[in-house]
Structure 1
Amino acid sequence: MTARCPATAIARQILNGFDAYRKEFRQITNLGRYRFEQAQWQEIQHASARRIQIYKEHIEQTRDGLVSLYGEAVLLDVGNWSAIKQSYMGQIDLRLDDELSETWYNSVFNSLFSHDKICNENMFVQTTRQGRVSGETPMQIRLYRPAGDLKGTLRQIMGDYRFEIPFANPEGDLERIEYQLRQSLPEWVCKDPDLSIELYSSRLYRNKGAYIIGRVFTAEEQWPLLFPLLNIEGQGVRFDAAITDEAEASIIFSFTRSYFMVRVAYPSEFISFLQKILPRKHLWELYTSIGFYKQGKTEFYRSLMRHLDETDDRFMMAPGIRGMVMTVFTLPGYNTVFKVIKDRFSPSKTVDRAMVIDRYRLVKYVDRVGRLADTQEFSDLRFPLAKFDPECLEELLDVAPSTIEVQGDEVLVRHCWTERRMTPLNIYLDNATSEQQMRDALDDYGWAIKQLAAANIFPGDMLLKNFGVTRHGRVVFYDYDEITYLTEVNFRVIPPPRYPEDEWAAEPWYSVAPNDVFPEEFPVFLFTDIRHRKIFSQLHGDLFRAGYWQGLQEAIREGKVIDVFPYKRRKDPEYTYTA
């Protein structure tokens, strides 16, 4: 360290920047309840996008402030940063969001050094916070013990989680959720004298829904417990369901959804609570799901490095048809793909590198409605050369030499996106073992297109190979180089031919502008397999009509926000059980 480096002051300035970011993050998040109560659906979408944007803005402000106060000579001397880190560690020692502050420090460091000075001496490649805070702060939970009176407990929960607006039909909701709990849990559970219900004190908000989350448990077993809430405009709040299925709870926290807004004083403790409910979710997935996407990125990187250190896994090319814009590789034992922009695109593609980057970044800010895979963008990742299958490395160096570089015993990946690995839809259909499995996948493919369109997203290239199937059987779009807003597309009907010869001409007899789309062409364009085309036409033939798309565009321009539920909605049953 040079004598002129004021390490303590620099660390304090970095932490001041973090505090400014956290303050704005909380301000946006804490209005979640108000927006829900006021049915401000468009404002919710704007707030979600804004909350993502502020991280980069505050990092830039912090970096520029440091440069202004201390000068580049001090800040770009990497030898100073060991002392800065040590001082910073002391200053965050008693914080309740210390793991987030470590990631913030890393982001500031990387904004100065462009990811080329990464080492644990100067930054938090490995966290220093593990095990230091467990049990120090009481959980923000509410504990209920039904003692045989399940309905009475549910009534108490409803009172504890009331809003400024009334419940639309509280007695009907009580009947519904009690019935659903008794139907979904083993019969003995509701009679168990040791039955307990544990709920997080703050509600989670996303899109048009609010969620109460927790678990129901006995001395021997536990189940997740989620209560989705809806604001039925003009009527009041409704308890829409009681969910105890782990798979369904996992889908609600899916990587294909927008991030929740939830008031969390102690992030790591809340994440520990979520891990009890969703044990199959990775740490990085849970942080990301509540809006701490940079912390999610940090935890993903640490998890990936541990996997490489602890296994013999080697990178290989991802299965499926090779992309015309992206090249994709993966680790067989790690449920992630790495997507790299090729140096040269197929001649049929009209996009350039900058456009592809913009479109992949766009996905972060839109409502993904459960049909777009979230991504993480990385720069300057370094992996051991020995961790690459030779054929994989050869292909990467061939198609993306400006991005993939071998440096000694390391492979430098200058830029990539990570994304959840899924089974490409075309491969899934080819391997379908029954007509029903094929039909279900094609049906969900159609719903994926429709729900994206209703959220003002047009996938562009809707070929089967650009959609994947998740472990829960949901169809998700994951290839974003042609994605655009639906309202920017001009859907047209193909005009009738002027002469009989027009139908046989090599060129169309009508003009085609860059944003023109002709849905009549979809059947032949999307389906080479006649069986698939026939089934899809039966299920979603309306997608082949320009009028369908034009109607959606009109609804979007009128400000309508669609309902896309991340859980199965149950019809109100006849309540025939005996209490």
Structure 2
Amino acid sequence: MTVKCSAVAIARHILNGFDTYRDEFRKITNMGRYHFEQAMWQEIQHASARRIQIYKEHILDTRKDLVNIYGEQTLLDIDCWPEIKKSYMGQIDLRLDDELSETWFNSIFNSLFSHDKICNACMFVQTTRKERVSSETPMQIRQYRPNGDLRAMLKQLIEDYAFDIPYADTQADLERLEYQLRQSLPDWVCKDPDLTFELYSSRLYRNKGAYILGRIFTQDEQWPLVFPLLNIEGEGVRFDAAITDEAEVSIIFSFTRSYFMVRVAYPAEFISFLQKILPRKQLWELYTSIGFYKQGKTEFYRSLMEHLETTEDRFMMAPGIRGMVMTVFTLPGFNIVFKAIKDRFSPSKTVDRATVIDRYRLVKYADRVGRMADTQEFSDLRFPVSKFEPECLQELLEVAPATIEVQGDEVLVRHCWTERRMTPLNIYLDNATSEQQIHDALEDYGWAIKQLAAANIFPGDMLLKNFGVTRHGRVVFYDYDEISYLTEVNFRTIPEPRYPEDEMSAEPWYSVAPNDVFPEEFPTFLFTDREHRKIFTAIHGDLFKASYWQSLQDAILEGKVIDVFPYKRKKTPSYTYTT
């Protein structure tokens, strides 16, 4: 077989593996509507985790088949890969998911070669898919014009997005949506003859919710638009809100949430539509938000490399208290931190390296409920030495020499995670300029802990320094080396002392097992500032009782999926509109 024929066949086999993966991805995604209609909440969570797992499984299967058919000697001849790439480019040229197939090719290449073989001649370091969208108007869009009758338009919209189960109360939905739209938009908008509602035809599904996504626009202005829908068991589907605030829509698509399931024939088309609605979101964030997390990882890497090449930015240590397990560095102009495991942990930490890796990977599959930052795991990243502040590089080499080393004029980072940069909560509170700001942060800190618990996640180390504050003021957990499932923890009340001397003893008078947690100890453990402790206790004092945690465990073990809404729910007064 000639080299050219081998290249064509190998490229075709790689693409066949991609098609097998995409077929399973679609099948899982397309079940989103059925799971929602049948209120199969646990099945939705399982499907979400499964959809993440299948990428690696199909890569390994495809690699194994390639080795069995063509042999390692052929596949590991690096000189053959420019020809394989060229053939592959021709085979994906007319696909509607061509950018995803490029990333798949890269994953196959990286499964065969060490990362020092990465080059644009052999793989798609830079995309060849320059034109992502074929026309300005995406094919899967529905447009509505009120023409002075908002109620009639909303009625048509509700009918067009009907399910196989009935609506609970269409009239109440109409009143709710019209009221909230009129409250959130300027008065003149609803009277504008050019007012247009543009909605994506496929619904998005995640956890216990469905979402209709789009925008409202006139000739001069636009607003994002999201309609969250709920399946009220025993009643039917309800339009729960009409959201037009960009910050609220951004939070729904936050890096702290699980990935949406949405049917998209042409991924780049949908991403282009999302960019119109959420212009502040990066390309890699949007791909990740709809489950194409590997594509998100690819776009992130390209964005990072472009930033390093086009700016004078240099890596520095991230602000905040140094971690006991992780060393964290960042780029000032790039809103991401890089986290690498230290060679030696603080003596107070009982976990090992393998456990830390396992717990960080757990976060990828867990329901993050808007309270845990998503991560991307990388191996063998290479950066120029000149892109590091000397003090930063020195510290990294001191605390993580097994993971980070200098090779010539490059710094090799063998393993790390990337995560959104946030202001550590302890620093945020120290710099707060008002009592209200402190109160709001502490209140949201408590809600973060409670919502994680509702998702069966116990943070373990709940110190303020392990939580961050986003640009929207939300408190998010980001240090995962001690997390566990809530149902694995034994919450206990401290036993009464047997004798007066027990209270004076340096050692507890009761036995303590590894998974035992005593919530009564939280106040002094979490807060050195007495005023902060007082504020938090007044709002979330139930967190200091073992019974609170035990009741959540009981609900989870009974199979209940507890509601955690990614948007503010609003009450709608009864109101009649005239047009």
For 1:429-444, list aligned pairs within 5 A.
429-444=429-444
For 1:324-343, list aligned pairs within 5 A.
324-343=324-343
Match in the other structure for 2:389: 389
> 1-side partners of 2:161 and 2:333: how far apart?
42
Letter in 2 for 1:7: A
Deviations 1:478-528 (A, max 9, x none): 000000000000011111112211112221111111101010100010000
Match in the other structure for 1:306: 306
What secondary structure, in the 3-state scheme, does the structure 2 residue paired with 1:116 have?
Answer: helix
Match in the other structure for 1:362: 362
Deviations 1:124-143 (A, max 9, x none): 00000011652299521001
For 1:399-548, list aligned pairs within 5 A.
399-548=399-548
- The answer to whether 1:17 aligns with 2:14 is no
What secondary structure, in the 3-state scheme, does the structure 2 residue paired with 1:363 have?
Answer: helix
> 2-side partners of 1:270 and 1:339: how far apart?
31
Letter in 2 for 1:117: K
Distance change >3 Å, CA 144–CA 485, structure 1 → 2? same
Match in the other structure for 2:550: 550
> 1-side partners of 2:575 and 2:359: how far apart?
49
- The answer to whether 1:270 aligns with 2:270 is yes
Match in the other structure for 1:62: 62
> 1-side partners of 2:136 and 2:177: how far apart?
35
Deviations 1:136-161 (A, max 9, x none): 99521001111111111111100100
> 1-side partners of 2:371 and 2:20: how far apart?
33
With 322-331 and 139-148 compared, the bigger mean Cα shift is at: 139-148
> 1-side partners of 2:536 and 2:269: how far apart?
46
> Any conservation in 2 of the 1:253–1:289 contact (CA below 8 Å)?
yes
For 1:1-80, list aligned pairs within 5 A.
3=3, 6-80=6-80
Letter in 2 for 1:104: W
What secondary structure, in the 3-state scheme, does the structure 2 residue paired with 1:151 have?
Answer: helix
For residue 115 of structure 1, report the CA deviation from its aligned partner. 2.2
Deviations 1:271-301 (A, max 9, x none): 0000000000000000000000000000000
Match in the other structure for 1:152: 152
> 2-side partners of 1:250 and 1:360: how far apart?
24
> 1-side partners of 2:540 and 2:578: how far apart?
42
Deviations 1:291-343 (A, max 9, x none): 00000000000001111111101000000000000000000101000000000
Match in the other structure for 2:207: 207
What secondary structure, in the 3-state scheme, does the structure 1 residue paired with 2:416 have?
Answer: strand
Distance change >3 Å, CA 30–CA 132, structure 1 → 2? closer
> 2-side partners of 1:428 and 1:138: how far apart?
42
> Any conservation in 1 of the 2:17–2:58 contact (CA below 8 Å)?
yes
> Any conservation in 1 of the 2:4–2:83 contact (CA below 8 Å)?
no
For residue 114 of structure 1, report the CA deviation from its aligned partner. 3.3
Under a length normalisation based on structure 2, what TM-score does the superposition of the two structures give?
0.99
> Any conservation in 2 of the 1:5–1:80 contact (CA below 8 Å)?
no
> 2-side partners of 1:559 and 1:418: how far apart?
33
> Any conservation in 2 of the 1:45–1:367 contact (CA below 8 Å)?
yes
Deviations 1:181-224 (A, max 9, x none): 11101111100001111000000000000000000100111100
Match in the other structure for 2:91: 91
Match in the other structure for 1:295: 295
Instruction: List runs of 5+ in structure 2 lacking aligned partners.
Output: none
What secondary structure, in the 3-state scheme, does the structure 2 residue paired with 1:553 have?
Answer: helix
For residue 574 of structure 1, report the CA deviation from its aligned partner. 3.4
Letter in 1 for 2:120: N
> 1-side partners of 2:81 and 2:5: how far apart?
9
What secondary structure, in the 3-state scheme, does the structure 1 residue paired with 2:365 have?
Answer: coil
Letter in 2 for 1:534: K
> Any conservation in 2 of the 1:142–1:199 contact (CA below 8 Å)?
yes
What secondary structure, in the 3-state scheme, does the structure 1 residue paired with 2:337 have?
Answer: strand
> 1-side partners of 2:546 and 2:240: how far apart?
35
> Any conservation in 2 of the 1:102–1:124 contact (CA below 8 Å)?
yes
Letter in 2 for 1:573: P
> 1-side partners of 2:504 and 2:292: how far apart?
56
Instruction: List runs of 5+ in structure 1 lacking aligned partners.
Output: none
Deviations 1:382-409 (A, max 9, x none): 1111110000000000000011111111
With 521-530 and 1-10 compared, the bigger mean Cα shift is at: 1-10
> 2-side partners of 1:364 and 1:217: how far apart?
36
- The answer to whether 1:567 aligns with 2:567 is yes
For residue 179 of structure 1, report the CA deviation from its aligned partner. 0.9
Match in the other structure for 1:173: 173
Letter in 1 for 2:394: E
- The answer to whether 1:223 aligns with 2:226 is no
For 1:112-191, list aligned pairs within 5 A.
112-131=112-131, 133-135=133-135, 138-191=138-191
Letter in 2 for 1:164: D
What secondary structure, in the 3-state scheme, does the structure 2 residue paired with 1:364 have?
Answer: helix
> 1-side partners of 2:395 and 2:489: how far apart?
35
Letter in 2 for 1:263: R
For residue 577 of structure 1, report the CA deviation from its aligned partner. 5.2
For residue 13 of structure 1, report the CA deviation from its aligned partner. 0.4
Stretches of 4+ aligned residues off by more than 3 angstroms: 1-5, 576-579
What secondary structure, in the 3-state scheme, does the structure 2 residue paired with 1:96 have?
Answer: coil
Identity between Structure 1 and Structure 2 (%): 83
> 2-side partners of 1:138 and 1:238: how far apart?
27
Match in the other structure for 1:378: 378
For residue 3 of structure 1, report the CA deviation from its aligned partner. 3.9
Letter in 1 for 2:146: P
> 1-side partners of 2:506 and 2:188: how far apart?
71
> 2-side partners of 1:137 and 1:251: how far apart?
26
> Any conservation in 1 of the 2:384–2:411 contact (CA below 8 Å)?
yes
With 240-249 and 505-514 compared, the bigger mean Cα shift is at: 505-514
Distance change >3 Å, CA 349–CA 5, structure 1 → 2? farther
For residue 2 of structure 1, report the CA deviation from its aligned partner. 8.1
> 2-side partners of 1:199 and 1:577: how far apart?
24
What secondary structure, in the 3-state scheme, does the structure 1 residue paired with 2:108 have?
Answer: helix
> 1-side partners of 2:84 and 2:134: how far apart?
26
